[in-house]
């Protein structure tokens, strides 16, 4: 009888273990004994998740729509003293890349996988998502985020600012919440779910509900909330590390900032965007950010020479840049507040920081003349002549809470110095190359130096995991995890001359596309783009074009880093080879079917959405 009883107890324990394991692949086998009574049973508790001993805090900072040549940290003339300090005590990566537009970059960053591969080929918005694996805007559960991984390894996880990866259909207080930050591993979130929001009247969310903003600038609010989260966590569990994802709306439009910040730049851009570009490329060479052989690309044909403009337009355009510069410096100041809190609380020395200055290149979305009050002078409602006239009349509104400002195209090219083209152009370094700073006082030995190894946003997650000694869990919430696609950059931390390990990378944003392979790059712009479809085209029929009509270009970035000499005719076999590599990557990463801006503007996708 006793033997049968023991067997029954063991069987019950085994059954419980099997059941638990079936429900959740991470649940360990039950190690106790289950009997009919407590006297006959032995309790057992799984070990709680703990971070590795001495594991650093982790802070990811991601800015929005900042060009490569905007900040003083990477040769620009807009003051960013806090970024300067971080870079001077850390590493500057000058060959780092993003996906070319907001949501794709963010999905790739948070998952360590290519954006189509995690279903974020476009956006999670109704107008820019589609019912295909690469485009539905819903990150699958088998492609866990950095927040989910770190939470499984004993970290507290917080996010503030722009998220941008929640489908429009789910972005109400009724959810569902699986695609909200809380459903992707963040224990607390304070910010906005969409791609852009008013900085004084934001569409604000805390955790799983919309809340009322307090009237201050959003960057102040998210910075205060981040400090609050960190303070509360540190007071309760000072030995438990945190992960904070700090992603302000800045410097995405609307460019809104207090006058005290924009007035810092009064009169400093009166010489215009051509002068700006010349000054910045000289500073970039002086700092070693770019090669000495570098030359500026030709001014884009859509942009007039500054010297040809009438004085009234010069005054208007200069004011746009004063606002933008003030906005960027103010954002740097907010980051400084956060860094200062970590320093004062004794946590900075054990905090691993990644600062990505822009989720893509500078934005071309501000039209040739800039935008102040889009509802008042929308290109859909006005001629170009009336649009410009209204902007001149409304100059004092630029950057104010009542406006929705975005700067003109000329300043976008200037902010992207020394590259061609802009945000959305996945074919171009100007759309995809952004500065990266890595800072860790306890671990970075070669402080203040430059790294030129090729990198991409999918590399930040594996870099973080390798440096902290954390492995990707086999399961997250019972879901078996797919492999990471990024390449850790840790090999380059102490070895500036190390050869790049990330040697292959594809890009695709609404038609524009490219493939990078070990220093060579093949790329194709696609027309019509959003500028050709959107600016002052009322009553015009802009024809769709086949992808077969696109012209492919070829560049050797090892010798021509900013794409000035097209080698397609000189090396046709190399171009053919790279196009075949792109095709293989497209098949592997869910790039098909190709969706372009023509499809978006003519509402040819997301047809099953019920309005």
pLDDT at 15: 40
User: 476 in a domain, yes or no?
Assistant: yes
Residue 220's domain spans which residues?
61-364+406-502
How many domains is the chain partitioned into structurally? 1
Q: For residues 391 and 370, what is the distance between their CA atoms, to the nearest angstrom?
A: 8
pLDDT-derived band at 375, boundaries 50, 70, 90: confident
CB 158 within 8 A of CB 244: yes
Q: Which two tokens stand for residue 39?
A: 């006297």
pLDDT classification of 606: cutoffs 50, 70, 90: confident
pLDDT of residue 238: 94
Give the rounded percent of residues in the chain with a pLDDT score beyond 70. Answer: 94
What integer is the mean pLDDT of 572-600? 97
pLDDT of 536: 74
Q: What pLDDT does residue 538 have? A: 62
Kindly report, residue by residue over 238-281, the tens digit of the pLDDT: 999 999 999 999 999 999 999 999 999 999 999 999 999 999 99
User: How far apart are the C-alpha atoms of 228 and 190, rounded to whole Å?
Assistant: 11
Residue 3 has pLDDT above 50, yes or no: no
Residue 266 lies in a domain: yes
Model pTM greater than 0.85?
yes
Residue 14 lies in a domain: no
506-533 residue pLDDT tens: 999 999 999 999 999 999 999 999 888 8
Question: Residue 47: pLDDT band by 50, 70, 90 thresholds?
Answer: confident
Q: Is residue 34 part of a domain?
A: no
Q: Which two tokens stand for residue 276?
A: 């700006």
Per-residue confidence (pLDDT) for residue 514, from 0 to 100: 98
Per DSSP, 124 falls in state: S
Alpha-carbon radius of gyration of the chain: 25
Chain mean pLDDT for the chain: 93
Interatomic CA distance for residues 105 and 123, integer angstroms: 10
On whether residue 20 sits in a domain, the answer given is no
- CA angle, 41 as apex, 38 and 47 as ends, to 5°? 110
Residue 471 lies in a domain: yes
Distance of alpha carbon 234 from alpha carbon 226, whole angstroms? 12
In a domain, 437, yes or no: yes
Domain CATH code at residue 129: 3.40.720.10
Residues 213-232 pLDDT 10s: 999 999 999 999 999 999 99
Q: What pLDDT is attached to residue 380?
A: 64
pLDDT in tens, 176-191: 999 999 999 999 999 9
pLDDT value for 8: 41
CA distances from 21 to 26, 43, 605 (A): 7, 18, 41
Structural domain contains residue 510: no
């Amino acid at each position: 009888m006793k033997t049968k009883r023991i067997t029954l107890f063991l069987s019950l324990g085994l059954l419980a273990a099997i059941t638990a394991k079936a429900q959740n692949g991470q649940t360990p086998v039950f190690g106790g004994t289950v009997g009919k009574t407590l006297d006959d049973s032995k309790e057992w508790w799984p070990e709680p998740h703990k971070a590795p001993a001495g594991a650093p805090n982790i802070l990811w900072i991601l800015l929005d729509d900042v060009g490569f040549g905007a900040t003083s940290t990477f040769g620009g003339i807009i003051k960013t003293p806090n970024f300067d300090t971080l870079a001077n005590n850390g590493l500057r990566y000058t060959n780092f890349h993003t996906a070319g537009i907001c949501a794709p970059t963010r999905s790739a960053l948070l998952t360590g996988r290519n954006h189509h591969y995690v279903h974020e080929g476009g956006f999670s918005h109704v107008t820019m998502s589609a019912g295909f694996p690469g485009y539905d805007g819903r990150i699958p559960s088998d492609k866990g985020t950095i927040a989910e991984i770190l939470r499984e390894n004993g970290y507290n996880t917080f996010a503030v600012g722009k998220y941008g990866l929640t489908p429009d259909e789910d972005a109400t207080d009724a959810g569902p919440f699986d695609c909200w930050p809380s459903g992707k591993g963040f224990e607390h979130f304070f910010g906005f779910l969409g791609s852009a929001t008013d900085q004084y009247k934001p569409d604000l969310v805390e955790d799983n509900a919309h809340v009322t903003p307090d009237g201050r600038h959003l960057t102040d609010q998210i910075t205060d909330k981040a400090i609050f989260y960190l303070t509360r966590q540190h007071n309760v569990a000072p030995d438990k590390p945190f992960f904070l994802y700090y992603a302000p709306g800045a410097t995405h439009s609307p460019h809104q900032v207090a006058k005290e910040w924009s007035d810092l730049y009064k009169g400093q851009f009166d010489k215009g965007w051509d002068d700006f570009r010349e000054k910045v490329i000289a500073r970039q060479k002086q700092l070693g950010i770019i090669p000495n052989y570098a030359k500026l690309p030709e001014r884009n044909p859509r942009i007039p020479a500054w010297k040809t403009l009438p004085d009234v337009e010069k005054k208007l355009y200069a004011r746009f840049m004063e606002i933008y510069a003030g906005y960027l410096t103010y954002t740097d100041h907010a980051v400084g507040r956060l860094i200062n809190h970590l320093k004062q609380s004794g946590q900075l020395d054990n905090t691993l920081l990644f600062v990505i200055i822009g989720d893509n290149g500078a934005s071309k979305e501000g039209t040739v003349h800039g935008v102040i009050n889009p509802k008042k002078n929308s290109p859909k409602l006005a001629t170009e002549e009336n649009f410009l006239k209204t902007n001149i009349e409304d100059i004092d509104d630029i950057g104010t809470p009542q406006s929705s400002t975005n700067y003109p195209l000329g300043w976008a090219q200037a902010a992207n110095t020394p590259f061609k083209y802009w945000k959305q152009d996945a074919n171009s370094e100007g759309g995809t190359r952004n500065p990266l700073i890595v800072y860790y006082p306890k671990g970075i030995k070669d402080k203040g130096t430059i790294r030129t190894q090729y990198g991409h946003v999918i590399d930040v997650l594996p870099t973080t995991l390798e440096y902290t000694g954390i492995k990707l869990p086999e399961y997250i919430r019972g879901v078996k995890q797919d492999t990471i696609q990024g390449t850790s950059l840790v090999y380059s931390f102490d070895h500036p001359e190390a050869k790049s390990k990330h040697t292959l990378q594809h890009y695709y944003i609404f038609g524009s596309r490219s493939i990078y392979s070990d220093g060579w790059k093949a790329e194709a712009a696609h027309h019509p783009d959003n500028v050709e479809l959107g600016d002052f085209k009322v009553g015009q029929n802009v024809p769709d074009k086949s992808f077969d009509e696109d012209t492919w270009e070829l560049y050797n970035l090892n010798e021509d880093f900013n794409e000035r000499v097209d080698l397609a005719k000189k090396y046709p076999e190399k171009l053919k080879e790279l196009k075949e590599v792109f095709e293989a990557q497209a098949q592997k990463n869910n790039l098909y079917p190709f969706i372009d801006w023509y499809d978006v503007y003519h509402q040819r996708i997301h047809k099953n959405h019920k309005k």
